[in-house]
Amino acid sequence: MVHLLGAIDMRWIPILLTLLSTPALVNAVESGSTVAWTYETLQQVRKGNAENGNKLAGSCAGCHGVRGEGTNVEIRDDESLPAIPAIAGQNPYYMYKQLRDYANDDRSHDSMSGIAKGLSEQDAADLAAWFSSLALPIQKDEGKDFSAAQKMISTGDGKRILPPCSVCHGANGQGDKIDIPSLAGQRADYFEKTLLAYRDGQRHNDIYSRMRLIAKQLSVDEIKALSIYYQQLK
C-alpha cells in the first residue's frame, strides 16, 4: 500500500528522518496501517454524505454522546467507566482512517472493531463527514498553569529530538493534512490514555510509527499536561 508523504508537514521531514535514523528507535518503525490514500479514497472521504452519516450516527450516541462529545473517566456505583473520545469536529480523513483501521484489524477495541467491520467504506466516509461537521466540545479548566504544555506545543525539545506538537497538529490543535487528528477539545482522560498506549506500544496504527517514536520520549507528567491543555482548546 502506498501512503502519501504529503500527509506529513514538510517542516517535519528533517526531524522525522533524524528520529528514524536513531539506533534505539529504528526497530520500532513500521507503517501501522493498511489504509492507502489513493485519489479515489480521498475523493470518497471529501464527498462523504453527512446526512446519511447522521442517520448512521444514532448507534454511536450511546457511547460517544448525541453530539459526539465523549466522556472522561466516570465513577458510577463504585465502578470506573473508561474514557470515551470526543469525535465532534474531528478531521474527517483521520476519523475515516480509524474506522477502517478497526475494520482491518490494524487497531483493536472490544466494541469498535466489531462495529467498524459492519460498516462499508462509504459508511465510514459518511460518518466522518457528519461528525466533522459538529461543533467541538469545550471543557474549560480555569486557573491551570499551561506553560509546560505550551512549550512542548510551540518549541518541543531539541535535546530529545522532539518536534513541537504544532508542526503537525497546528498551533491550536486543529489537525492538518490527511491523517493528523484534531486535538482541540479532546477529552483529557482519553488523550492521556492514547499517548500512553502509543508510548507502551499497545497502539500501533500510526503511519511510520510517528506517534510511537514521539510518545516514547514524553514523561507521564508531560502527557498529562498536554491532555489537560488540549481539552480546553476550541
Please give the domain boundaries of the chain with CATH numbers for all domains: 8-22+144-231 (1.10.760.10), 39-132 (1.10.760.10)
Tens of pLDDT, residues 77-104:
667 788 999 999 999 999 999 999 999 9
Tens of pLDDT, residues 144-169:
889 999 999 999 998 998 999 999 99
The pLDDT of 54-70, averaged and rounded, is 94
Q: What is the DSSP string of the chain?
A: ----GGGS-GGGHHHHHHHHT-HHHHTT----------HHHHHHHHT--HHHHHHHGGGTHHHH-TTS--B--EEETTEEEPPB---TT--HHHHHHHHHHHHTTSS--TTHHHHHHTS-HHHHHHHHHHHHTSPPP----TT---HHHHHHHHT-BGGGTB--THHHH-TTS--BTTTB---TT--HHHHHHHHHHHHTTS---SGGGHHHHHHTTS-HHHHHHHHHHHHT--
Tens of pLDDT, residues 179-233:
899 999 999 999 999 999 999 999 999 988 989 999 999 999 999 999 999 999 9
